[in-house]
Structure 1
Amino acid sequence: MPPATPPSPLMAHSLRHGHGACSCGSPLLQRFHERMMAEISRRHFLGGAAAVMALFAGLHAPSAVGEKPRERKGPLLLTHLRLFDGSGSPLRDNVAVRVEAGRIQAILPGDADPEGAEVIDCGGRVLMPGLIDAHWHTTLAAITQVAAMTADVGYVHLVAAREAERTLMRGVTSVRDVGGPSFALKRAIDEGVVAGPRIFPAGAMISQTSGHGDFRMRHEVPRGTATPLSEQERQGVAAIADGEAEVLRRTREQLMLGASQIKLMAGGGVASIYDPLDSTQFTERELRAAVEAADDWGTYVTVHVYTPRGIQRALRAGVRCIEHGQLADEESVRMMAGEGAWWSLQPFLQDEDANVYPDAARRESQRQVTEGTVRAYEMAQRFDVNTAWGTDILFSPQNTPNQLRHLAKLTRFYDPLTVLAMATGRNGELLALSGPRNPYPGTLGRIEPGALADLLVVDGDPSRDLDFLHDPERNLRLIMKGGRIHKERLGEGS
Structure 2
Amino acid sequence: MFTCVSAESNSEGGVRGCLCHRPEIQTLTRRIDAQLSRRGFVAGAGASIAALGLPGRARAQAATEPPRPIVFTNFLLFDGKPGAVREGLRLLVEGGRIKSVAAGDQPAPEGARTIDCGGRVVMPGMIDAHWHSVFAALPVSSLFAADVGYIFLAASAEAERTLMRGFTTVRDLGGPSFPLKQAIDEGIVLGPRIYPCGAMITTTGGHGDLRPLQDIPRSPGGPLSPMEETGGAMIADSADEVRLRVREQLLQGASQIKLVGGGGVSSPRTSLDMTTFSEPELRAGVESAGDWNTYVAVHAYAPQTIQRAIAAGAQCIEHAHLMDELTAKLMADKDIWLSIQPFLGDEDTGVLTGQSRINQLQVFAGTDTAYALAKAHKIKTAFGSDLLFSSRLAARQGVMLTHLSRWYANAEILTMATATNGELLAMSGPRNPYPGKLGVIEENALADLLVVDGNPIEDIGLIAAPEKTLALIMKDGKIVKDTLTVPRP
Q: Describe the shift of the 1:459–1:218 C-alpha distance in structure 2 as closer, same or farther (beyond 3 A).
A: same
Q: Using the alignment, how far apart are the partners of 1:129 and 1:387 within structure 2?
A: 18
What secondary structure sits across from 2:76 in the alignment?
strand
Question: Residues of 2 paired with 1:327 and 1:242: CA distance?
Answer: 25
Provide the aligned C-alpha RMSD in A.
2.0
Q: Structure 2 CA distance, aligned partners of 1:331 and 1:225?
A: 37
Q: CA deviation at 1:479?
A: 0.6
Paired with 1:358 and 1:241, the residues of 2 have a C-alpha distance of 28
| 1:172 counterpart residue number | 167
* Deviation (angstroms), 1:413: 1.2
Separation in 1 of the partners of 2:349 and 2:120? 33
Distance between the aligned counterparts of 1:141 and 1:463, measured in 2? Answer: 28
Aligned match of 2:28: none
Aligned ranges 1:64-143 → 2 under 5 Å: 73-116=67-110, 117-143=112-138
Is the CA contact 1:206–1:263 (under 8 Å) kept in the aligned structure 2? yes
Deviates more, 1:164-173 or 1:434-443: 164-173
Q: Distance in 2 between matches of 1:302 and 1:225?
A: 24
Q: Residue 396 of structure 1 is aligned with which of 380, 384, 390?
A: 390
Distance 1:493 1:248 in 2: 52
Matched, 1:470 2:464: yes
Amino acid at match of 2:115: I
Provide the residue aligned with 1:324 in structure 2: 319
Structure 2: how far apart are the matches of 1:471 and 1:160? Answer: 22
1:308 paired to 2:310: no
Distance 1:321 1:272 in 2: 21
CA deviations over 1:195-238 (Å, ceiling 9, x no partner): 11000000001001111121112222111357531112111111
The question of whether the paired residues in 2 share the 8 Å contact of 1:277 and 1:306 is answered with yes
Q: Where does residue 24 of structure 1 map in the other structure?
A: none
SS of the equivalent of 1:457 reads: strand
The 2-side partners of 1:273 and 1:487 are apart by 40
The amino acid of 2:384's aligned partner reads G
> What's the counterpart of residue 246 of structure 2?
251
Residue 353 of structure 1 aligns to a residue in which SS?
helix
**Residue 464 of structure 1: CA displacement?**
1.3
**Aligned partners of 1:308, 1:249: CA distance in 2, in Å?**
28
Alignment partner of 1:430: what SS? helix
Query: Is the alpha carbon distance of 1:99 and 1:414 closer, same or farther for their aligned partners in structure 2, counting shifts above 3 Å?
Result: same
Aligned equivalents of 2:286, 2:252: Cα separation in 1 = 17
Structure 2 distance, partners of 1:367, 1:358, is 11
Shift of 1:115: 3.5
CA distance in 1, matches of 2:358, 2:214: 28
1:273 to 260, 268, 275: 268
Structural mapping, 1:85-484, within 5 Å = 85-116=79-110, 117-225=112-220, 227-359=222-354, 361-484=355-478
In 2: Cα distance, 1:154 partner to 1:328 partner: 40
- Within 1, Cα distance between the matches of 2:438 and 2:220? 45
Which residue number in structure 1 is paired with residue 53 of structure 2? none
**What secondary structure sits across from 1:478 in the alignment?**
strand
2:69 and 2:92 in contact (8 A); partners too: yes
- Greater Cα shift, 443-452 or 214-223: 214-223
Point out which structure has higher relative CO (alpha carbons under 8 A, 6+ apart): 1
User: Separation in 2 of the partners of 1:302 and 1:414?
Assistant: 24
- Following superposition, the deviation at residue 76 of structure 1 comes to 1.4
Q: Which residue of 2 aligns with 1:35?
A: none
**Secondary structure in 1 aligned to 2:391?**
coil
Mark the runs of 5 or more structure 1 residues left unpaired by the alignment: 1-18, 21-27, 29-66
User: What is the one-letter code of the residue matched to 1:259?
Assistant: A
Work out whether residues 69 and 109 of structure 2, in 8 Å CA contact, stay in contact via their aligned partners in 1: no
- Residue identity in the other structure for 1:154: G
Residue pair 1:68, 1:486 contacting (<8 A) in 2 also: no
Structure 2 unaligned segments of length 5 or more: list them. Answer: 1-32, 40-55
> Residue type of the partner of 1:412?
R
2:25 is matched with none
Q: 1:146 Cα deviation (Å)?
A: 1.8
Aligned AA for 1:314? A
> Whole-Å Cα distance in 2 between the matches of residues 267 and 150 of structure 1?
27
**Is contact 1:460-1:467 (8 Å) kept?**
no
- Distance, in Å, in 1 between the alignment partners of 2:439 and 2:350 is 30
In 2 relative to 1, CA 225–342 (structure 1 residues): closer, same or farther, beyond 3 Å? closer
Q: Secondary structure at the match of 1:173?
A: strand
SS at match of 1:228: coil
Question: Percentage identity across aligned positions?
Answer: 52
**Conserved? CA contact 1:88–1:420, under 8 Å:** no
Aligned length: 430
CA displacement at 1:68 relative to structure 2: 7.6
Q: Is the contact between residue 269 and residue 276 of structure 1 (CA under 8 Å) also seen in structure 2? A: yes
Change (3 A) 1:210 1:351: closer
Using structure 2 for the length normalisation, give the TM-score.
Answer: 0.85
Change (3 A) 1:110 1:456: farther
Rounded to whole Å, the distance in 2 between the matches of 1:382 and 1:448 is 30
Shift of 1:190: 0.5
